[in-house]
Amino acid sequence: MKYIVEHMEPLPMSEWVTLEYKKMLQDVGKENLLICSLPKDTKLDDITKELIDLGLQWTTLQLDELHKDYPSFTNIQDKKMCLLDPRGKTELCCDDVNKYEVCILGGILGSHPPRDRTKELKDKHPGLLEGKRLGSLQMSTDTACRCAYYILDKQIPFDQIKFIDYPEIRFGKREAVEMPFRYILDDVTGKPILPDGMLKLMKKDSEQSIDDLF
Q: Which is nearer to ligand SAM, 4 or 44 (CB)?
A: 4
Size of the site for ligand SAM (CB under 6 A): 22
Q: Is 137 in the site for ligand SAM (CB under 6 A)?
A: yes
Interface positions, 46-85, toward ligand SAM (CB under 6 A): 84-85
Each residue 143-162 as x (binds ligand SAM by CB under 6 A) or -, in order, gives: -x------------------
Give CA–CA dist 78/40, Å, rounded: 25
117 φ, ψ (degrees, to nearest 5): -75, -20
DSSP labels for 175-193?
-EEE--SEEEBPTTT-SB-
* Long-range contact set of residues 190-196: C-beta below 8 Å, sequence gap at least 24: 192/164, 192/167, 193/143, 193/146, 194/23, 195/19, 195/20, 195/22, 195/23, 195/142, 196/19, 196/22, 196/23
User: Closest approach of Cβ 102 to ligand SAM, in Å?
Assistant: 12
User: Closest approach of Cβ 122 to ligand SAM, in Å?
Assistant: 10
Q: Which is nearer to ligand SAM, 113 or 172 (CB)?
A: 113
Give CA–CA dist 48/123, Å, rounded: 29
User: Closest approach of Cβ 214 to ligand SAM, in Å?
Assistant: 30
Site for ligand SAM, rule CB under 6 A: 84-86, 105-106, 108, 110-111, 114-118, 133-135, 137-141, 144
